[in-house]
Amino acid sequence: MKPDAIKAELRRLFTEAQKLESDLVRHQVEWATWDATKRRDGEGPPDWLIDKDDELVKPFEHLATSLYLTTVCFLDAAQLHAYLRQFYQTFGSKFDAGKAASEYDVDIYWSGEPFNTFLATLRQILAPLDVLGDADRYLKLSGVQYLEVILGNTASIIHKIGATPASEADVYKAVRHVLENIFPSAITPQSKFFKKAQEYRPDILIPELSSAVEYKYARDEAKLKAVIGQISDDVKGYTGDHDYNLFYAVFYVTNDFWGQAKFKQV
């Protein structure tokens, strides 16, 4: 694998980790607060704290391990052996993902906000190597966060405009108007998701965020099962265009057939 390709993967992994960072460090602060105030009373940790471990800590540990291994791969491929030795001195030759996910500090000079020390240290190490890009990447990260808020509020958007969707097209057209006002590149996007048998067309493309969105509509439980099954075909189809590397499937259902717990499990 060439250094440029490894560098691109490092950027992707770092962006994904940054998306989790603020929620993760707040969660660690909540654990520390509970540990300091409740443990002495003999109370067990609340379920919501434990659930957050599955939602935030485990995914971050996986990303942190991938970041560690990919950085080693990049430094070795670039023949930066002295820098690789320094990297090992900083993080160890055997990576501790639990430590990477649990250690944080507070920016007392500027924002006053807590931050993950593993990401901060890794950012400092990678800074001279032009791996993470410029400020545009952080603007892009903020844009992704806005996008996720909008997608998560699909039902609210449709309700406020007084629409009663009867198909996937009705759903994504209502939301696309909102996205086009915020992300101009979504108005006339282009893609290269071509396959021998057909061309795959995501419902919404946002080139400036390298993001594609596919909506799924279900009016009953049988249809919901069917559209979930379609995701595997979408995964195979949305390949071949390196301009897009972030994909969302948004499900719009006319009733809460399963509840969130079963839906997430499926």
Q: What is the DSSP letter of 190?
A: -
Q: Are the C-beta atoms of residues 231 and 221 closer than 8 Å to each other?
A: no
Q: What is the mean pLDDT of the chain?
A: 84
211 phi and psi, to 5 degrees?
-120, 145
Contact 57, 24 (CB under 8 A): yes
Mean local confidence (pLDDT), 107-133: 82
Q: What is the mean pLDDT of residues 18-28?
A: 84
Instruction: Give the Cα separation of 184 and 205 in Å (integer).
Output: 11
| CA-to-CA dists, residue 181 to 144, 155, 184, 256, angstroms | 15, 18, 6, 30
Going by their DSSP bridges, the two strands 246-253 and 211-218 should be labelled as: parallel
Of the pLDDT bands very low, low, confident and very high (cuts 50, 70, 90), residue 60 is very high
pLDDT band at residue 42 under the 50/70/90 scheme: low
φ and ψ at 250, to 5 degrees? -115, 125
Which tens digit of pLDDT belongs to each residue from 123-170? 999 988 888 764 445 556 678 888 888 999 999 999 998 989 999 999
Examine the pLDDT at 57 and tell me if it is beyond 70: yes
Write the single-letter amino acid at 240.
Answer: G
What local confidence, expressed as pLDDT, does residue 170 receive? 92
Reference 61, options 116, 3, 8, 10; nearest CA is 116
Which one is predicted more confidently, 63 or 265?
63
Return all residues near 258 (Cβ < 8 A) that are at least 6 apart: 221, 224, 266
Lowest model confidence (mean pLDDT) among 117-131, 148-162, 167-181, 190-204: 190-204
What pLDDT was estimated at residue 138?
54
